[in-house]
Structure 1
């Protein structure tokens, strides 16, 4: 994930930031070490945010993990690797400067150290910033000790949180604030938790309470400072109302971050206004809140708070039953929205809830609840696809389907179609056809039109590639009949597959008509990936017809959009097709450079155009190479291998869109 966006102001830490920069100047592995609550995570985020030395930055929160074997998969997924191996991760970090922040590593030190060591060995351009209560103890590691805040900065933090607790007014008690900060060892988490009590206590009352419960006779050691945080957490929890304490305990059961709707849907709160109870926990700094890239509010419990709340948990199997039931409903409700204008927001929510979706799936499988397991896994198929998490998606859907029991035929059909998309992208043709057949049979049995339209259209396109035009046309005609009564997303997919089939059969103009119709419908409903796919295939048709400038114009928008959405593989696919169009407008040298760039950058995303496109890709390369001498092609190709995405887009700006005739 990208760096989180804290909602409170960053205060002080000038010397610590300077120490981190100095450490990073000489070491590629820097670990911030200090007691819980001292502000390591916030400091790491600020150090990354103010750094200008990286091409990419990634933030990996390890707090929710309990299994060391999950460390590598979570890091691989965050960085967009095509598989959960160090070798698959390597291309994402080998040819550009990358900063990876690994947060909350103390409970998984061995596994984190192994992955960090593997990344550092595979790329001289990767830098790793770790937060932990202890070092990784790797060769070359530089440890920066994070101490409590200096008095002036601690006072600033305390005043700001006090003002928040009192509705913007913190005057009248500042004469005791410094004593409170000193009693709390100026540890940020303890300061925030304690300042939140000024909503009901005066400054002198708060100081007395801190002195009674803070253990002021044992200070300054790391163990004592951790005790200071633990005391502040326990004290804050003890002062909660029964409803607030009960909700905090329930929140400690979440595996990761969560939106408010998950709290309202899963937790049982003995209060007329559960949102108000959650808001009070945020006010008291017991629940942290941040904003995602889409501006959505995200909640989570800090480790110290989660530990204290979990210690009070009597256990509640019914809560976990509701947890998996609600998440299955959520996945089933939001999964289809990944093909609509709400896709960005929905995909962000699914990312946020990923640890809990996995926990719910594990619990459903353990309970032998096949229906809930399949709803959880199958509904996320398109999300996994657009996030590039193909292998995870296949594995989880297979685990769900392996649970014994009956399923509603339409649910199994829909799950099979989603799984089919994932297996197709991994190159498993045999299973893809088997899933298509299974989905079609089940859906027809229920009288559904949407899934048969997609299944037959995809089979028709695949059949056309193998040269059986008659069978392909027959399947597509049958798909068209279903498509008349199908959902909009399925009609858009049918039209795109029809365009692909017609191109394979040499009917370019009819292919363009279907592809443009698919794009128009896809844009109308917000199915951006399908709109991009239709434009991409239209670019192929235009290239087939020698209409280079029109192909470039067709591919320009889809490539730019894909890059803006973080879809590197689709971006490179668009540029690869544009390279051939360059040859058609007399810019063959640019085409060769683009090929060089695509081949190098593609290793970051597991994208190899020759493997993905087969004979299509070879024809494009022959077209460009045929208009240059061998020496010219090799020279321009090598030049292209030095290009980054920014260079490709600058080159794109120089290419004409229309009005340029084909030339040699």
Structure 2
């Protein structure tokens, strides 16, 4: 069996004999695969590592040649093709000196926990002797794997020196500690060990001098004070605490009631604690699951320390257990069976069989199978035992109850952040602006407690606003987890990497393609960027169960999202970010291309809701195309005409279209026309009629002499949009001319939408309610839902004019038509058009019976119209003018009514207007 050495220049041994891999490039190829720790590595990533960003003209061909050469040296089946890359087989991860080193550190730490200081010194010494240089030294950048090993080596150096002090060898330890501090001057634990060693060696003045040195170093170089451990040690040295002279072994793992409550406050989890308490009174196996940094361990500790069991509870920390065969020994140690020889399972079962208490198995995600097997055995053999597990995924055991721990809600997240900042800056009281910054930072960090605590630590040097601004490089910004934390990982990045690295290669590759989605995504969207390996639904289900993707199944269709910190990790780790972003943009193009067809029909409301959900994704995809494919962006913006019009996103529509038109390169005339048509509609809605009609002549010129049916169809759209503009301008002669031209185009094309729209506009221009009704019937017969509802709006306005000119019988029909329009536009998710119908309905109310009530509703309509950036009366006719129907109101009563109206929500306003019945009989 081959042995792999990566703690220094790469070596591959076969029975103790070193294999010649043939030069630096094949060595980098093998080292890159070893650094992937069992996962397949794509061709592009291998080429990047081998040629350090400067691959040859045909890297795939060169790569195949090197793989063939390595197969001859290592064995034909050692490097296998996997998806779009290569993978070592069998997985060599457990056969590396890095794995041997990690296991040795675990043994040494266990020896320290049990007070075996001298044995721990030997174990750590042997572990450090495995190092021959920088890990994965052949690679320009070993990434997370190298960073993790280097950090663990620094920990091992400190653990070894702590063991020497604990064994009573302070004088010899001091010499090594001086060198260790010099090598890593910002690691406070080394300074603490050096100060303790000096003190125990009778060199108390030098211990105080070392304290002054580290305080000055941290202040001058980092602008911070020493951490709480060093500050406490300083007080003990100054007070000549006699306990400092004792060689104190590290306390053994907390068992029973000796598990202590953490020092920091516990915020925002009251409901979760209550739910967990209730579950554990009813279920014998509960698994607390959630994403990295969400606080599963902290919640478990808070619950556990509050119990008052006769036996236990027993807390088993599995984060440092790397092998399945160590799970049962770890449980044995936790329940007080240290030093057991042979198989410890029978002794564990015997010890727990007669108890009635709780066994906590913390951080199980990398050991799900052995932990599940153990849980089944213990629960079957120990009737009084209850098990609480924490994991990134369920154990999938029959009878298991799963409690999903979500990030903190907004208020609790801000409370936690403020609490932790106060710990860093005693006496700090946030201003209103700082509270706003705290809300923004909590939202950007998804309310994940670990991320919030790391952000709070940065407030020693940065303001909350500055931290939020710098989250583009969040992992470097947020830094390391403080000592004493319950978090099992040194940084937020390693915590996330831990979750991602536990995924199968297929699931991991799928996850890395999801980062471009803004605001979440559906299964259909995820399938659009899927690379075709395995099953998209299967991978997505796996990612949800492993707490790296969040699912919201209360909506239809279900939506999924990545926490922002996981998104940032995936973007930074994705081996092909440009291809991933292009796949997302291609999906957005497909989505927008369906808009013209679906938005005007019976499914218009559904598609509007869909696009509203996907608005952040639309913006991201269009922004990608504006940068790299402006012609495609122009096409998408034209496709979205009805979306912009219905939702009232007027200013955004204009800005994007102007950008796309300026950036497009020789675009087809139809694409330019459609984009200008969308812009015209948006500006018209906003009430800027002069600007809206400005490009009209240019657009007619574009389509001059058009014969292609699609071009002629769009000419018809322009013609009836021109008619709408004439309506708003009060130019009824031109309105009638344009409406007749639209009808003619629609009849030649056989397009019922254009014909019906032309007829309803002609009827409006002629004040002919019957002609508008006939247009409505035509639209209804062809299921053009938008045109049916628009006809109701125009019919209501025509009848309202007739009422104003003396036809009192028109009021009831006007009210019915406007009620239909309000309700139908709401169902179609068309707030801009609904706004126009609401305005006409309230005007009718003011004219027919209740001006004070109308004043209240006018204020509501105008407020929501201003919020959308549209004119509330943009669809109203201009033939009949009357005095202000509210002019006779008492000024104080009118102001009070208007203030009440401005407080109405959109939904409450529409609900009220849609059932108005204040028509005064005449």
TM-score normalised by length of structure 1: 0.61
Structure 2 residue corresponding to 1:525, chosen from 770, 784, 787: 784
- Separation in structure 1 between the aligned mates of residue 698 and residue 287 of structure 2, nearest angstrom: 59
- Partner of 1:542 in structure 2? 799
Q: Which runs of no fewer than 5 residues in structure 2 stay unpaired?
A: 1-264, 291-310, 321-360, 376-387, 393-449, 451-480, 804-809
Measured in 1, the distance between the counterparts of 2:571 and 2:276 equals 31
Partner in structure 2 of residue 286 of structure 1:
548
Distance 1:283 1:176 in 2: 30
Is 1:642 equivalent to 2:900 in the alignment? yes
Matching of residue 267 in structure 1 with residue 530 in structure 2? yes
Q: Out of 153, 156, 170, which is 2:276 matched to? A: 153
Q: Structure 1 pair 471/640, CA: closer, same or farther in 2 (3 Å)?
A: closer
Q: Equivalent of 2:818, from 555, 563, 572?
A: 555
Q: Does 1:354 align with 2:611?
A: no
Residue 154 and residue 535 in structure 1: after superposition, are their counterparts in 2 closer, same or farther (change >3 A)?
Answer: same
Distance (whole Å) between structure 1 residues aligned to residue 727 and residue 391 of structure 2: 78
Partner Cα separation in structure 2 for residue 397 and residue 365 of structure 1: 10
After superposition, where does 1:455-474 map in structure 2 within 5 Å?
455-463=718-726, 471-474=734-737
Cα pair 1:290 1:298 within 8 Å, conserved: yes
Equivalent residue for 2:658, pick from 372, 388, 398 = 398
Whether the 8 Å contact between 1:453 and 1:479 is mirrored in structure 2 is yes
Aligned 8 A contact 1:599 1:608 in 2: no
Aligned to 1:501: 765
Whole-Å separation in 2 of the counterparts to 1:538 and 1:431: 27
Q: Distance in 1 between matches of 2:894 and 2:529?
A: 59
CA distance in 1, matches of 2:899, 2:880: 18
Q: CA deviation at 1:374?
A: 1.0
Kindly state the Cα deviation for residue 453 of structure 1 after the two structures are TM-superposed: 1.7
Report how many residues are paired: 480
In 2, are the aligned partners of 1:196 and 1:285 still within 8 Å (CA)? no
Do 1:193 and 1:286's aligned partners in 2 also have CA atoms closer than 8 Å? Answer: no
SS of aligned partner of 1:405: coil
Aligned to 1:325: 586
Residue matched to 1:619: 881
Q: Which residue of 2 aligns with 1:341?
A: 602
Report the Cα distance in structure 2 between the residues aligned to 1:209 and 1:653, rounded to whole angstroms: 53
Instruction: Write the distance in 2 (CA, Å) between the matches of 1:229 and 1:313.
Output: 18
| 8 Å contact from structure 2 (residues 855, 898) kept in 1 | yes
Q: Relative to structure 1, is the Cα distance of residues 154 and 258 closer, same or farther in structure 2, using a 3 angstrom cutoff?
A: farther
Measure the CA separation in 2 of the matches of 1:598 and 1:355.
Answer: 32
How far residue 297 of structure 1 moved from its aligned partner, in angstroms, is: 1.3
Shift of 1:482: 1.0
Query: Helix, strand or coil for the counterpart of 1:240?
Result: coil
Kindly indicate whether the alpha-carbon contact (under 8 Å) linking 1:595 and 1:640 is maintained by their aligned counterparts in 2: yes
Partner of 2:741: 478
Q: Which SS does the other structure have where 2:851 is aligned?
A: helix
Distance 1:502 1:221, change over 3 A: farther
Distance in 2, Cα, partners of 1:192 & 1:574: 59
Instruction: Check the 8 A contact 1:371/1:407 in 2, yes or no.
Output: yes
CA distance in 2, matches of 1:494, 1:197: 69
> Which has the greater radius of gyration?
2
Q: Distance in 1 between matches of 2:764 and 2:266?
A: 57
1:614 to 1:402, Cα distance in 2 relative to 1, 3 A:
same
Partner of 1:246: 509
Name the stretch that deviates more: 613-622 or 252-261.
613-622
| Mean Cα deviation higher: 317-326 or 556-565 | 556-565
Contact 2:641 2:678 in 1 (8 A): yes
Q: CA deviation at 1:559?
A: 2.4
Residues 1:452 and 2:709 are matched in the alignment:
no
Query: 1:445 & 1:321 partners in 2: Cα distance?
Result: 35
- Does structure 2 conserve the Cα–Cα contact (< 8 Å) formed by 1:161 and 1:196? no
Cα–Cα, structure 1 residues 265 and 229, in superposed 2: closer, same or farther, change >3 Å? same
The equivalent of 1:202 in structure 2 is 372
Alpha-carbon deviation of 1:313?
1.9
Shift of residue 636, structure 1, vs aligned partner: 6.2
Give the stretch that moved more between structures: 405-414 or 150-159. 150-159
Change (3 A) 1:373 1:465: closer
Q: CA deviation at 1:611?
A: 6.8
CA distance 1:576–1:413, shift in 2 (3 Å): closer
1:356-411 deviation per Cα after TM superposition (whole angstroms, max 9, x unaligned)? 332322322222x2321112322223212222211011111111111141222333
**Deviations, residues 493-522 of structure 1 (Å, cap 9, x unaligned):** 33332233223xxx45434444x3466358
Distance 1:561 1:308 in 2: 44
Q: Distance in 2 between matches of 1:311 and 1:554?
A: 56
CA gap of 1:250–1:599, structure 2 versus 1, over 3 A, is same
5+ residue gaps, structure 1: 1-142, 165-174, 185-190
Look up the SS of the partner of 1:299 in the other structure: strand
* Counterpart Cα distance in 2 of 1:380 and 1:494: 22
Q: CA RMSD in A?
A: 4.5
Summarize deviations over 1:31-64 as a string: whole Å, max 9, x none: xxxxxxxxxxxxxxxxxxxxxxxxxxxxxxxxxx
Note the C-alpha offset of 1:290: 1.0
Counterparts of 2:796 and 2:897, CA distance in 1: 25
2:538 is aligned, of 253, 270, 276, to 276
TM-score (norm 2): 0.45
Matched, 1:407 2:667: yes
Matched position secondary structure for 2:794 = helix
* Cα distance change of structure 1 residues 256 and 467 upon mapping to structure 2, 3 Å threshold: closer
Change (3 A) 1:569 1:181: farther
Query: Structure 1 residues 180 and 315 mapped into 2: Cα distance closer, same or farther (>3 Å)?
Result: farther
- Do the aligned residues in 1 keep the contact of 2:763 with 2:770 (CA within 8 Å)? no
Q: What is the SS of the residue equivalent to 2:663? A: coil
Q: Relative contact order (C-alpha < 8 Å, sep 6+): which is higher? A: 1
8 Å contact from structure 1 (residues 281, 287) kept in 2: yes
Say whether the 8 Å CA contact 2:727–2:735 is kept in structure 1. Answer: yes
**Alignment CA distance shift 1:649-1:286 (3 Å):** closer
Secondary structure in 1 matching 2:679:
helix
Q: Kindly tell me: are residues 408 and 543 of structure 1, through their superposed partners in 2, closer, same or farther at Cα, counting changes over 3 Å?
A: same
What residue is the counterpart of 2:193 in the other structure?
none
Q: Distance in 2 between matches of 1:403 and 1:469?
A: 38
In structure 2, distance between residues paired with 1:556 and 1:393: 29
Task: Work out the CA distance in 2 between the residues paired with 1:650 and 1:274.
Answer: 45
Separation (CA, whole Å) in 2 of partners of 1:257 and 1:501: 46
Contact 2:851 2:889 in 1 (8 A): no
Q: Is the 8 A contact 2:729 2:878 kept in 1?
A: no
Contact 2:797 2:814 in 1 (8 A): yes
Q: Determine if contact 1:461/1:500 at 8 Å carries over to the other structure.
A: no
Of the structure 1 ranges 370-379 and 443-452, higher mean CA displacement relative to structure 2 is found in 443-452
Correspondences of 1:561-576 after superposition (within 5 Å): 561-562=824-825, 570-571=833-834, 573-576=836-839
Separation in structure 2 between the aligned mates of residue 457 and residue 647 of structure 1, nearest angstrom:
30
User: Which residue number corresponds to residue 301 of structure 1?
Assistant: 562
Secondary structure at the counterpart of residue 670 of structure 2: helix
Q: Judge conservation of contact 1:247–1:267 (CA < 8 Å) in 2.
A: yes
Partner of 2:888: 630
Distance 1:413 1:299, change over 3 A: same
Report the Cα offset of residue 154 of structure 1.
8.0
Change beyond 3 A, Cα 1:256–1:425: same
Specify which of 497, 512, 515 is matched with residue 234 of structure 1: 497
Distance 1:151 1:539, change over 3 A: closer
